[in-house]
Amino acid sequence: GAAAYYLVADARKKARKNLTLCFPEKSKDEIECIIKKIFKYQAKNFFELLNFPKMDKSFFHSVASMSQKDIEIYKKALSKNKGLLIASAHFGNWEMLASGVAAENFPVNVIAKRIYIEELNQMLVSYRSSKNVNVILRSERDTARKMLKALKNNEIIAMLIDQDTSVQSVFVDFFGMPASTPSGLATIALKTGTPVIMTVSKRLPGDTHVFIVSEEIEPDKTTDNFEQDVINFTAKVTKYIEKCIKENPEQWVWFHERWKTKKV
């Protein structure tokens, strides 16, 4: 990770640009310190993922377990028998998050983009599956059917909604700027009544992980315009994620082009 900071200049420049834009009060030295930590943390994420085949349930309980309070929040939401949508982000180690939740015997599905190098795609799917995390690949012909079936079976679907990607999106405020944000989670929640909880994995000293779990996030159905309700709910969930990033900026992937799509 330290080597990548010096070798991957383009990513370093993007991170510097984004951090300076979002934290104008921080000095150049503070910004560079954060960037170095970002690269080191992402390297740790990579090697943790590579070691997934060696990690059993007892290991996850020792380094990435949920608190009893968090478990009760999940159980309360699932007691409605409508499934559960987890709004998450590329924060901490998001792979450890899904596996840590599954280690508590919750039925977990993640929505993931297919990697076009098929061997690599299969490797990642198998790593996640080995931890009882079911992968639903995005943009497949049966993606919607699989998601609805999972919710009907009262399962959890985790979705990362913090990047500007080629999926159905809406513009919401993110660090004071309009950012194109995936709207699928809000759309599903509003149409099906599925509960939504924000959960991210935060890395701690010693490389253990703690889950930051919100209470159920209720949509504000204040309009007769469904599209506006989707925007409002996406913005509300995004605020929870932004708060986590502000508190620990070194744990988010700042070299992503978060504001590349411009609002017209």
- If we measure between CA atoms, which residue out of 127, 92, 90, 84 comes closest to residue 109? 84
Mean pLDDT score, 254-263: 94
Q: What pLDDT is stored for residue 199 in this prediction? A: 96
- If we measure between CA atoms, which residue out of 239, 217, 221 comes closest to residue 162? 239
Determine how many CB atoms are found less than 10 A away from the CB of residue 9. 9
Question: pTM of the entire structure?
Answer: 0.93
Model confidence band, residue 117 (pLDDT cutoffs 50, 70, 90): confident
Q: What pLDDT is stored for residue 152 in this prediction? A: 96
**Phi and psi, residue 187, nearest 5°:** -60, -45
**Phi and psi, residue 63, nearest 5°:** -120, -15
Q: What pLDDT is stored for residue 56 in this prediction? A: 85
pLDDT tens digits, 60-115:
888 887 899 999 999 999 999 999 999 999 999 999 999 999 999 999 999 988 87
- If we measure between CA atoms, which residue out of 56, 48, 50 comes closest to residue 96? 48
Model confidence band, residue 21 (pLDDT cutoffs 50, 70, 90): very high
Residue 255 · residue 39 · CB < 8 Å: no
pLDDT tens digits, 159-196:
999 999 988 999 999 999 999 999 999 999 999 999 99
Supply 220's token pair. 């504000």
Q: Are strands 177-182 and 169-174 parallel, antiparallel or unpaired?
A: antiparallel
Supply 238's token pair. 């995004």
Mean pLDDT score, 121-139: 87
Residue 139 has pLDDT above 80, yes or no: no
Write the DSSP assignment of 83-107 as a string of letters: -EEEEE-SBS-HHHHHHHHHTTT--
Mean pLDDT score, 140-147: 90
Model confidence band, residue 44 (pLDDT cutoffs 50, 70, 90): very high
Q: What pLDDT is stored for residue 114 in this prediction? A: 82
Residue 106 · residue 153 · CB < 8 Å: no
Supply 203's token pair. 């890395």
Query: What is the rounded distance in angstroms from the CA atom of residue 243 to the CA atom of residue 126?
Result: 33
Residue 19 · residue 11 · CB < 8 Å: no
Q: What pLDDT is stored for residue 193 in this prediction? A: 94
Residue 224 has pLDDT above 90, yes or no: no
**Dihedral sign (CA 34, 37, 43, 46):** negative
**Dihedral sign (CA 229, 230, 233, 239):** negative
